[in-house]
Amino acid sequence: MGRLLLLLLLVATFVLLWKAFGPGTWRRSDNEVEPLIKGPDDDEEFLWRLELEQFKKRRASEAAAEAEEERRHRERRNKNKGG
């Protein structure tokens, strides 16, 4: 009778330990981890788009300055020819 009681206690202990620390609990801990929220300064895509936008603005201002310089050069050339 004592051996049967000991066997039941061992089985109950094994079942409780399995439910507490078994493979079913491993997956739950992975799902509970929330994804980290990145700020805009950590987001590589955001930084890339920001850099690209700044590059495009710089290119546009350089092109506008170059066009203005070319226009002034043509004006001076036309004044020299006419005068």
Looking at the domain assignment, is residue 31 inside a domain?
Answer: no
Residue 62 resides in a domain: yes
**pLDDT band for position 23 (50/70/90)?**
confident
Percent of the chain at pLDDT exceeding 90: 55
Using the predicted structure, report yes or no on whether residue 29 has a pLDDT greater than 80. no
Residue 17 identity (one-letter amino acid): L
Average pLDDT of span 28-48: 72
Q: Which residue has the higher pLDDT, 46 or 11?
A: 11
Which residues span the domain enclosing 54? 48-82
DSSP letter string, 5-58: HHHHHHHHHHHHHHHHHSHHHHHHHHHHSPPPPPPTTT-HHHHHHHHHHHHHHH
Domain membership flag for residue 74: yes
Q: Are 54 and 47 in contact (CB under 8 A)?
A: no
**Residue 36 — pLDDT band, cuts 50, 70, 90?**
confident
80/82 Cα distance (integer angstroms)? 6
Q: Which helix (H) or strand (E) holds 67?
A: helix 44-82
Average pLDDT, the chain: 86
